[in-house]
Amino acid sequence: MDVVINYWGSPWIAHPIVSFQLVHALPLCFSIETRKTIGQKYSALEGLYRQYTLICVVADARDCIRLRTNYRREDVYLCDNLAQAYQRPRTCRQR
């Protein structure tokens, strides 16, 4: 299990994404995101108070990370092997 942290807009705002490597398959990313309803305006304050619909986005890790690094130009960090963090120091590296 890996955790990908991406920062967008501010160093105080981060979005965690969990990635799993299944046997003989590409890694899958799971991202919990908000979506507005039709006609609803966006407000960061309302987002803090859970006024938006939550969805779970499941995507191929290449697509999920590449979208944020190559197209949105967000700062992305990979904290790998968190499931085994008790065995060795956790490492994070920028992508």
pLDDT digits (tens, 9 = 90+) for 51-81: 888 899 999 988 888 888 888 888 888 887 6
CA distance 18 to 31: 7
Confidence of residue 48 (pLDDT cuts 50, 70, 90): confident
Q: How far is CA 92 from CA 14, 30, 81, 82, in A?
A: 15, 19, 10, 10
Contacts of 19 by beta carbon, 8 Å cutoff, 6+ apart: 1, 2, 3, 4, 27, 28, 29, 30, 61, 64
This model's pTM is above 0.95:
no
- pLDDT for 56: 92
Grouping H, G, I as helix, E, B as strand and the rest as coil, residue 21 is coil
- pLDDT for 83: 56
